[in-house]
Every structure is written in structure tokens, then in C-alpha cells.
Amino acid sequence: MSTRREIFCNPHYYLEAMKHKYPDVFIDWCCTELSHVLDFKGTDSIGDVLKGNTEVKYPKNSIKKVKGQKRKLTGGVFGAPLTAEGYCQAKLLIEYLKRHLHMEGIFRIPGNAERQRKLKEKIISGEVIDLDSDIFTPHDVACTLKAFLGELPEPLLSDRQFQAHVQAAGLTYKLEDYNPSGMNEDNKRKWKEKRKLDHIMALTYLCLMLNTCSFKLLQELLDLLHLAAREQSNNKMTAFNLGVMFAPHILWPRYFTTEDVRDQDFVNKLNTGVEFMIKHAQKICRVPEFLLAKCEKYLKNGGSLEPRMEAPTVDTTETDGVAISRPQHSNVHVKSRHTTEQALGHLYDDIKHMEPSAKKRKLMKNFAKNCHMPGTPTNVREGSAKLMRQKKHSRSKSFGGVIKKHVLGSTHRKNKKNAVLSPTSSQTPTQHERVNNNLKSPDVVSTTPSYHYTKRDPLSQRLFSSDMPYADASTPKRSTDTPTKHGKEN
């Protein structure tokens, strides 16, 4: 039985997704691996520069002043930063050159300047170019490719990685001439092999830290130069010659100083570094398997190397080498309307059997308020409607109400039912007669209802003032010696 496996058109899918979604984490991973073979604690601060914590310093006496210089961008291809469009145009030239690598002096013999200008104009205009049937020669196409790489605002390997490439090139520079004392031949061979592996490892992670377009174009270019070096018997171009031709375009920084150019040993070190890249192009551009697995695990776990939850497996069936995904059954259970109504009914019964409290009244009020909503159970509708029809409970009596009832008697309840009367409200003669008859003292007679209080009863003084909205004319005068509200006793 064949094992199940995922099939992607792009084998570097998880790598590119990791660089796009978690670029800082991916850079940290690469720098951790590079710290094993490069010196991150030196004066160059390679680690901080690669991580972006330190800006690249541009010398004042540079040959090509890029910082602050306005470059003329023509058509967004030549002289512009590398984009997907520029990558596609460069790949078109590379694919054509792969079929003509047997030409002697390829990349070294200059082509016709006029034909190169026409080729550039066609590339800039976006025309469909058939290089095989056109007037352009392989030398014209090779020179146009070098011009495209040389006119980039920064080299293909980026200015930020320049010092790291210089240190990596020192791992194998003049390695064959180095004869450490105290080592036998077997140890010397192992030591040299280790230096080569460290150089390859450093170049691998430096290339992986490039952006997607630069990494893909570097892969295509190194593959082209590797094939050209294998045809050196016909084209007379060795790997060192190709390194000398392309080092200024893909590695030399645009801020290269005049002192650096005069230092021939330093220039040879850079050229041999590019030569090493050409010779070991297939190993350098190979992504480590453990890094791909690490990126896949990190993405599937949602940004963590530790699993958070078990991801559903995809059942695939292989048919003639093609993975076909089967439709997966959903494991999400959606609650039906019947289940929701049943749960609401149980909740209503539980609240109904609660002890009388303010919380119970509030919950029952909410049920009654929303009983018209769709999905409400029948028992909830009936119970809420019954609750709404019930008469409101009598309000609890306050202390002031008890005093009014005790002092005023039944008149207080009658006046409370009637409309509120102001002190100037009209009254019938019958009411006035009743007021006058109830007053025991003949000295105090008034057509306007007045209220009497004693000095011994301050609460009555506050309750039965003339500002009260309720007029009670039937209140008897307690004492004839007590002054009225409107004046002293006559």
C-alpha cells in the first residue's frame, strides 16, 4: 500500500509562504545557522546587518554613488529594482543562452551595440520576442543580460549581504595553497573538505535570505553559468573566467570604493567567491530538507513549532502520479431549531421554579419582553403572556405613607385617587361647607384650605405645609393655641 503524500507544483511552497508570512522568524533561523560558520561578533556586525538592525554604511569615495542619486528608470526593467516582470524578461534571455553555450567567447566577446539597443527597446515595450528567428546573436543576448544585471540599483546578492559574502569567500580563498603544520595528509584533506562544506552552507542560507525574485533569478543564472563552465572545451570560458565577468554585476556593491578596486588581492577574493558559487551551483541552490520540514511544521501549527491542535488529514488517491483530494466530511455539528427551543424551555422552567427574588423577576421580565421572537417555545410564550396579564403587585408602603394614613385617615386615600389639586384649585360650595363644619375653632375660617401643625410635631410641620399638592380640607385643628401657617393666632 502506497504512503499518502502531498504533491505541490512548487516544491518550495512552504519556504516561500514562510518568507512571506513570517519573514523575521525565517531570517532568525538563517542567521542562527550562519553563526556556526561565520563570525557574527566581529567589527563588521554581520549579524545585525543581516537582521536589519543596522543600516548599510555607504562610503563617500565610492565609484558609483547610489545613495541620494536619481537613477533614470527606463520602462521599469533596466535600471529599476528587480520585479516579477524583470525576472521573466531575464529568464527569457537565459533560456535562449542555454541553447547557445557552445559559442566561443560567450559572455566575453561583445555583440553589436545597435542590435543590443533594439533588443532593450523591445524588452522595455513588452513586445513578444522570438530570439531564435530574430537578428540578434547569442553575444548580443549575453551582453544584454549583463547590462540588465549591472543596471540594477543594487547587486543581485544585495548590499546588505556583501560583508557576509566576503567572509564566506575567505573560507576557501587560497585553500589549496594553505598547508597547516602539524597535520598529516588525511587530516588536511578532512579540514579542507570541512571548509568547503562550511562555505556551501553559508552561501545556501545567504541565498535563502534573498527576496523571492532575487532568489529565483540567482538560481537560473548560476545554473546557466554552471552549464557554460561545463562547455569550456568549446566556449573557452572556465568557471574562473565567468566569475571575473559576473562578480561586478552580482556581488560587487554599487558603493565599491577606489581603494577596494586597487586592492587586487581583495578583488581576486571576490572573483574566486563567485567562481566557487558557479562550481557548486547545484548544492548551493538546494534547500535543506530539515528547513522545509521546519517551515511546514511552523505554518501548519499557526506560527509555532509546537502543535496546537490536530489538523485534519487530507485523504488523497494517486492516479497516474497525480494526487486527487477526496471531499472531506464536515465535523461541525450545527444545532437545529428544535434543540434550541428545547433548551429555552428547560431554562424557562428552571427560572420559574427559583425562589422569589429580584433576579427571578428580572429574568422573567426578559422572557416576557422577548416572547414574540421566532424560535420561542410554546410554554415560554404562554407563561410570558400570562405574566403580562397579571395585575401588578401593590407597591410596598413607605414610612411617609403610613404617617399620612394615620394623620389624615380615609381622606388621604380619596384624594390620592382623584386628580392632583393645587392650592388655588376650584372647589364646590359643598366642600367649603364641610370644611367649615369640621373646624372646631370659629376663629380660623378660610376659603382656602389650610393645614395646621403643632410645635411638638415637627414631622407634621414638614408634611402638611401649604406647598403640598394634595389639599385636605377635612383635617381638624388639633389645638386652638397653635399658630396657623398663614399667620399667628388672632
Q: What is the pLDDT of residue 388?
A: 62
Q: What is the pLDDT of residue 319?
A: 41
Q: What is the pLDDT of residue 360?
A: 83
CA distance 205 to 200: 9
Per-residue pLDDT of the chain (490 residues; tens, 9 = 90+): 445 555 556 778 888 899 889 999 999 999 999 988 888 876 667 877 887 777 776 665 555 544 334 444 445 688 888 988 899 999 999 999 999 999 999 999 988 999 999 999 988 888 888 888 878 899 999 999 999 999 999 899 998 899 899 999 999 998 877 776 777 888 888 888 999 999 999 999 999 999 989 999 999 999 999 999 999 999 999 999 999 999 999 998 887 777 778 888 889 999 999 999 999 999 998 889 999 999 999 998 888 887 765 545 545 444 444 444 444 444 444 445 567 777 777 887 888 888 888 888 888 888 777 776 666 777 677 766 666 666 455 555 566 777 776 777 656 555 555 544 444 444 444 544 444 454 444 444 444 444 444 444 555 454 444 444 444 444 444 444 444 444 444 3
Backbone angles phi, psi at 132, to 5 degrees: -70, -35
CA distance 237 to 143: 15
**Contact assessment for residue 90 and residue 128, using Cβ atoms and an 8 Å cutoff:** no
Spatial neighbors of 385 by CB under 8 A, at least 6 apart, are 368, 371
Q: What is the pLDDT of residue 397?
A: 57
Q: What is the pLDDT of residue 220?
A: 94
Q: What is the pLDDT of residue 59?
A: 61
